[in-house]
Structure 1
Amino acid sequence: MATLVLEDFFPYQLTHLQALVTNNIAQIYTGQFELTPQQWRVLAVLGNNSPLSAKEISIQANLEKMPTSRAIIGMLEQKLLLRSAHDGDKRSSLLSLTKKAETIYQQLVPLALKREQELLSVLTTKEQQQIKTMFEKLAIQSRSLGK
């Protein structure tokens, strides 16, 4: 009978690493900026692509519908998002960042990118490219196996 050593199991290792990295980056946006992880993702998505519907944000942020909805509601209450009519779909609205949120975004992004570089600093430039390539290959394989 085959045995499974959880610490050696790739999905476990990946999940463990993801949690460590996420918690490390979260120190930046949860502390000074008082954002939840989901709000940070919404902010990051809208900082690059705006306006978007909640559904589009959910897809780009890789969040389920409910966490996306909660993040948006919280951000609307904090006056971080503007809601406008969606000409193409009367059932939904478009969301964009307020000036306050844009200021937070401009302050937060350099800090997040600096932390990313600090995390990646243990890898050579070649290793960083290799890991990116490996992630892309694994994503493609995972999608093909999930069909």
Structure 2
Amino acid sequence: MRAKPTLTFNGFSMHPLDALKNTAVLFEAGYLLATSNNHEYCEIGDTIVALATDYAFEVKNAIFYSRQDIAPEKQPEYMVNLSTQREACGLTTTELARLLDLDEEIILQWESGEYEPTISMLIPLANVLGCDPMWLLTGAYKQNQEEA
């Protein structure tokens, strides 16, 4: 079985989570160089900022227009935990949405990785699912909490 080709932009990963980190670093480095008193550094900084802008634009297009799936190895832990815990509680996405007073589409987007639960929803979500909020996010258990 052949591995799925990894999309890149000038060697940078097009995966949204990687792209967020990469663009932040590129913008920061570009800004530091662009504000330098050295003319050559300023030019390099401007070039890096332009690259970061183009990169962010390409990633945005990849996300919004091609709806690429997030590779399973890149999926945040909460997506796996949310779906697993919801199923362990015997809840459907519709039932979980009703209990949280949300549209089912939001639950589906969380589980697919399209969007993340907001921090304000984390405690209510964990309470409904009967689990620790940190486990829901990271999969890590507290020392005094036993793994199910």
TM-score w.r.t. the length of structure 2 is: 0.29
Task: State which structure, 1 or 2, has the greater radius of gyration over its C-alpha atoms.
Answer: 2
Q: Which has the higher contact order (CA 8 A, sep 6+)?
A: 1
Bigger strand fraction: 1
